[in-house]
Structure 1
Amino acid sequence: MQDFSVKPTKLEGLWEVQTKIIPDERGSVMESYRESDYQKSGLPPLDGRLQVNATLSKKGTVRGIHAEYAHKFIQVAYGKIFAVIVDLRKNSPTAGQWQSFELKRGQGLFVSKGLGNAFQSISDEPSIYIYHFEKEWAPDMPGVSCNPLDPDLAIPWPIAEGSGMLISEKDRNNPSLKEILQQ
């Protein structure tokens, strides 16, 4: 059995989260979210957790870098991902810094508002990635997106462009970190 645990990271407002996994002879149950565990952990509240999404992503797929002005909890339900969190908050002591994580089933990150998250599916089978939002997403929701291929960020994506990386034109054409921090 894997118990729920939380530990801080080098970025202000970002925590690694291990959700509870209960195995048996049939497989296992992953507690995706338990309010009482969150309250005891000291994480900021998700204020109602109003929307939960799941993405299915083929190997090599990059999604992000997206920052909303709401807290979110992201986790892997299946497969393995390379996750990257970038501090896109202009007035943060860690502005412009990023941190990466290799996450598998049951592992996740609590991402405070203003931090941008991106991930790449790196397992042979598709990955299922779950987002818990404290607000309902809408196309006009305030936020910012950054180009995951920005050379100034120099993120070492495990599956590079030309070697199986899949990325949307929208994400590819997002502004650079420098452009975001100078706005």
Structure 2
Amino acid sequence: MTNHLHVDSLTTSNTKIDGLLVLRAKMVTDDRGTVRELYRRSSYSAFLPGSASQWSQINLTRTKRGAVRGLHGEAMAKLVTVAYGSAFGAYVDTRPGSETIGAVVTVKLTPGVQVFVPQGVCNGFQALDDGTEYLYFFDNEWVSGMPGQALCPLDSALGIDWPIQIDPDNREQISEKDSKAPSLQQLLVKLQ
């Protein structure tokens, strides 16, 4: 029997948000399945800031299909990906003084697709499959009350076309905290 081996190298691409990168992880596939290299310091250090060379916390969420988490922009850089299922990722630049403040980027996340989210850029996602597992690498440990921003993911001014309709009163789809977070306009006024 012939062993079929296929290697996809790590690739990166820039987005319209300064510092927000979309990555395709190195993947090695053979007759048994696939190994995804989620992070290797020697490879990622060429394009991630120094703070991301040593992750301080790693979280994995399991989320129901159609549910939304975010948009949150804490004082931490993040590397996010999907370990299982798929998600619609949304990112909004809320960094005061940023040349791309207010810019929105969306990315379909599947296993092997990663997004590097700089500090101050809000991160959120909608699970497209039941039991989607969304993986976060953080360069700082999360603590209650840490500095950062939050935006309402339902703010029409963001122009995010969530693939699955969201009922703002359905707590299985969106938390009360997220549904009542400020709009982008409210946040921009606050940041002035």
Larger Rg: 2
What amino acid is aligned across from residue 154 of structure 1 in structure 2? G
What amino acid is aligned across from residue 88 of structure 2 in structure 1? F
For these two proteins, the number of residue pairs brought into alignment is 181
Q: Give how far 1:47 is off.
A: 4.9
1:151 is matched with: 156
Does the Cα contact within 8 Å between 1:68 and 1:144 map onto a contact in 2? yes
Q: Give how far 1:170 is off.
A: 1.0
1:84 is matched with: 90
Distance 1:69 1:108 in 2: 20
1:132 is matched with: 137
Q: Give how far 1:180 is off.
A: 1.0
2:23 is matched with: 17
Q: Give how far 1:69 is off.
A: 1.7
Q: Give how far 1:2 is off.
A: 2.1
TM-score (norm 2): 0.88
Distance 2:78 2:97 in 1: 20
What amino acid is aligned across from residue 29 of structure 1 in structure 2? V
Unaligned runs of 5+ in 2: 1-6
Distance 2:31 2:173 in 1: 36
Matched residue of 1:152: which SS? helix
2:174 is matched with: 167
Identity fraction in percent: 39
Distance 1:153 1:10 in 2: 14
What amino acid is aligned across from residue 103 of structure 1 in structure 2? L
Does the Cα contact within 8 Å between 1:148 and 1:172 map onto a contact in 2? yes
Q: Give how far 1:129 is off.
A: 0.8
Does the Cα contact within 8 Å between 2:150 and 2:181 map onto a contact in 1? yes
TM-score (norm 1): 0.93
Is residue 39 of structure 1 aligned with residue 53 of structure 2?
A: no
Distance 1:61 1:50 in 2: 27
Q: Give how far 1:175 is off.
A: 0.9
What amino acid is aligned across from residue 25 of structure 1 in structure 2? D
Q: Give how far 1:64 is off.
A: 0.4
CA RMSD of aligned residues (A): 1.7
